[in-house]
A and B are shown apart, each in its own frame.
Chain A
Amino acid sequence: MNKHKEYLNGLNVFPVPDGDTGLNMVLTIQGAMASMKNFENQSMSPGEYLKNFAEQMLLHSRGCSGVILSLFMQGFAETVANDDFSKENVYKALENGCRNAYEGTENPREGTMLTLMRALKEKYGELMEQEDDPIVIIGKTIPYLKEVLDKTPEMLPVLKQAGVIDSGGAGFVVFIQGVCREFQHNGFGANGLPVPILLKIGETTRKYIAKGLSKFRNTPFAHLVSSIDFSRIQNNRLREILQNVRKATTNLSVNNHVNNKKKLQEKLIDELEEINNLWNPDIKQKYCTEFVLESDKVISREQLREMLAPFGDSLIVLQAGNKFKVHIHTNKPDDIFDKVKQYGELVFTKVDDMKKQHRNFISDDVIDYRRDKSIYCIVSGKGFAEILQKLGADDILCYGKNKPSVDQLVKGLDNLKAKNIIAAADDSDILMALKYAVSLCKSNVFIVESDNPIDLIGMMMGISKDYDIMTMFEEAMKSIHTIPFCGIARANRQVLADSGKPVKKNDYFAVYKKKIILSNPNIEELAIEAVNQLVNGYGLVTLYKGLPSRKNNGLVDRLKEQFPDIDFEEYYGGQYNYNYYITFE
């Protein structure tokens, strides 16, 4: 639905051409999905789940289209709450959904989403005579729904005048198509056990059998294998092996010759070992690397192939004009990039850590990657956390006074459920822990070696998620250290400024480029001095107020008075150590 949002928005002329039908439908569904997380720990049947989901949809419904869709879902869910998903009951559910939507709409009009709901019910009823599987039936209604959708301008004059089909109706068809597609891929037939569980069953069986088939027969695990529903093992090889294990253990008394038993045991162990090894290969080349090189210097793909072959395996080189698309598994992606850059311009790059992806794939808690790229920031101040989030960071670890642990960082990175992550912290002391966390987490993480919150703002200003991950990382690295700033803090003991002048305990001092440049017992005077010294050539000065100065007001007004030609802005950063960060742009 989200993918088609803009298209649906663009069709929106009825009832009001406010261009938000797609958005409303998306928000309605997204809201319900987000709320269902509250039920994560509760066990419930599909019927109960749908009922809760429909309720949440109603609660989160937006706009006409969102409300009507929710009403339909409510009626549908009411009927299947008994978990009866037979074709007859699904028909009743569609009928009830349709009735609920019509009755709940104040002035039901044909040519809208309601017509599509009715068309679905009617066509489903018709096709029920020929098919048994409700999903197949719903799938077969789609061409008819599209026909009806094309006729909506004939039913609703406003659509005809605007020359469009009904947006809500189109949204409903997108919704039904999506549901169908999901069921076809992950539907009723796909109740197979996940790969990590299958591998665990195989490996545990092997370990038990290694102790002897007779011993294995008496373990609780043997009972599990004997009661397993083999239809759920969608790995043919493992299913066959486990069936043999079950046969062997139940027929032990018949086939009890010692040599036979030994041979059978060895055979089963070998097979299980083999399957385990196949799923856990020694990945010699860690990075799946892809790039597009635009080059007039490379003559042929053979030439490029020859040049790159020594770097790894699984090499594929495609050519279209002067563009070469390359795929290779390698341990040295950077070396490859450096090499090919001599021959032209890299217009796209992608590097996936296959070891990590594999580790995730076979782990107990597989991460279902939800996004390709994410940005993760680690900051001390709450104000900075909020600023960075609003600038596009996907998640922030706001650690307050105590630096985050490796465990916290791993959890934070894994929680993003992103294949690739750009991670940056506001303190260089966190880098070590972050690097260790990266080695334990399940995503490809690119660490931006920043050491203050202003760098993080620079990074967020400079990168766009529209870029590929490598470009994002390059841009992030380029964008840090781009905003000049000074920090103002209070001395908790006497220190020496870089000029050699002492800074007394409890005086304020200004740090610029890691050097103490000024000090003063009065913070406002110090800030004015610092701005005066550093503002030359800049037009905008921004103050990020820290926790120690959270109650101080008036500094920005004094600065405005002193420097009337300069623009000043003030934000709450919430940092612990510095009263202010002052940036110059």
Chain B
Amino acid sequence: MKKKIFIIVGDNLGLSRDQIDYEDLEIIKFPVLVEEKEYRESDQYSANWLISKFEKENVVAKSSTLPQKDIADAVERNYRNYDLIIHVVMSSGLSSASWKVAENVRKQYEDVIPIINVDSRQAVNGVGNVLLGIIDIIKNNDDLSIEEIEKLCQQVVENTYSYYIFPDLDYLYKGGRIGRAQSLMGSLLHIIPIIGMMGDDPEGIVSSLGKGRTFKQVNRQVIELINAKMKEKSVSKIKRAISLSGYGEKNKDVAQELMEKVKALPCDDFVMGKPGLVDAVYCGPGAYGVSILL
């Protein structure tokens, strides 16, 4: 019998609600602190609002962990109507606190309803890609046990790869998410870094994938990296690609150029991602990239 599955995810997923074709879903908004005042994503407080504050007022922004209460409330509201809850969590390598909070909720409800916490090993649109991949599994498989679902979710995680061009890594650094990409910081020569979140990296932290001096160079490198990954995984087609762009006006044309190049690759589904407030905290102005599910 097909299980009724409810999904919980944070709003750091690079997609808007209307892009997710799944009814039984709750997106919990991350608290964003700008100059010590808390905000959550809304029509007024959007990614572009924050980017504009970065550019004009040089403000410092941070995000907090999803409050445990918000997640527990979402479970409380819904568990009676479902057989299983899946919580897609941002990479525990980036925020062990987020993972810990998710686990606390799972333990709190372990006698009430099974909850699968999926460590996405991703952030921003990578989380969105894992989420859509899991929704595909739910829709396409009628009779799976919890263990089988968990296994398939893990496969989605391990097949999701995200490539980003963050012109200013300082935003990532200040947010404590710089990981291995720290090696790309502090260059005297002006460089454009390519960073990534690789689903087959169990550490789930930001990797340094390359660097270039011009956007043309880095865009070319990203495509080369995607091709190399497809070859390494013996995959001839991308199942889904989700773009990341729109953090201010900066680099719109080069982001567009990359998207055109990605679209030219063999790909079943290309989704134009939506910039989010919490994502803007780490991306900063002019960031762009793409997440692929193989």
- Chain A interface residues (CB < 8 Å from chain B): 6-7, 9-13, 17-20, 23, 161-165, 345, 347, 386-387, 390-392, 457, 461-462, 464-466, 539-540, 542, 567, 569, 571, 585
Contacts and interface: CB of A to CB of B under 8 A. Distances in A.
Interface string B95-122: 1110011001000000000000000000
B272 interface: no
B78 interface: no
A583 to B, nearest CB: 9
A13 B98 CA distance: 12
Contacts of B210: 462, 464
Which size class do B's interface residues fall under? 35 or more
25 contacts: A6-B205, A7-B96, A10-B92, A10-B96, A11-B96, A11-B100, A13-B64, A18-B62, A18-B176, A161-B67, A163-B100, A163-B101, A164-B101, A345-B232, A347-B232, A387-B187, A387-B189, A390-B187, A390-B188, A391-B188, A392-B183, A457-B189, A461-B211, A465-B183, A539-B216
Interface in B69-90: 69
Does more than half of chain A's interface fall in helix, strand or loop, or is it mixed?
mixed
Given A10-B95, A391-B189, A585 B214 contact: yes
Nearest to A540: B214
A163 B190 CA distance: 40
A162 B187 contact: no
B36 to A, nearest CB: 10
A162 B64 contact: yes
Contacts of A585: 213-214, 217
Contacts of B217: 585
Interface in B170-228: 175-177, 179-180, 183, 186-191, 205, 207-214, 216-217
B68 A162 contact: yes
Interface in B256-288: none
A7 B98 CA distance: 11
A162 B68 CA distance: 7
A386 B104 contact: no
A462 B100 CA distance: 37
B93 interface: yes
Contacts of B179: 6
Contacts of A13: 64-65, 97
Contacts of B212: 461
Interface string B123-154: 00000000000000000000000000000000
Given A7-B96, A162-B68, A462-B210, 12 more contacts: A13-B65, A17-B62, A19-B177, A163-B68, A163-B97, A164-B101, A165-B100, A386-B188, A387-B187, A391-B187, A464-B183, A539-B214
B94 interface: yes
A464 B213 contact: no
B38 to A, nearest CB: 12
Contact of B176 (A12, A165, A387, A465): A12
